[in-house]
Structure 1
Amino acid sequence: MKRELITAIPPRELREILRKSGAGVSISVEETEPFHGMPRYRLTIEGAREEIERFMETLRLARAGG
């Protein structure tokens, strides 16, 4: 399965979140067009559906201060 999203989270932080999640997914990060001067990145996540869900939950909690 493959999932893509656009985010302002820097690649270094995304890789740290992936490490902490323990999810068996691979991610690729590409820089995209800035939004009002703020850098944005296209994040592509590949792996099993359950593993992508695990990574996404950790990502949500990390950005919500959880």
Structure 2
Amino acid sequence: RVLKEMFSDGHTNWGRIATLFAFGAALCKYSLENNKQELIEPITDSIALYISTNKSNWIRQQNGWVGFFLF
């Protein structure tokens, strides 16, 4: 739900992409600290799947991940 909500207004930018990864990292850290390691792979898989299916064209249009570093 969080993934869809972040981009529900149709706007994509590097800040939102970075926020998505930071949110995922925080969830993974929380899972690790609370002995719920089995949640880490589904969290990372969900983010990777969302990015690859919904944001890969936008990332390509922004010069790929190099565009992020230039940003």
Q: Name the TM-score, length of structure 1 as normaliser.
A: 0.36
Q: Which has the higher strand share?
A: 1
Structure possessing the higher relative contact order (Cα contacts under 8 Å, 6 or more residues apart): 1
Structure with greater Cα Rg: 2
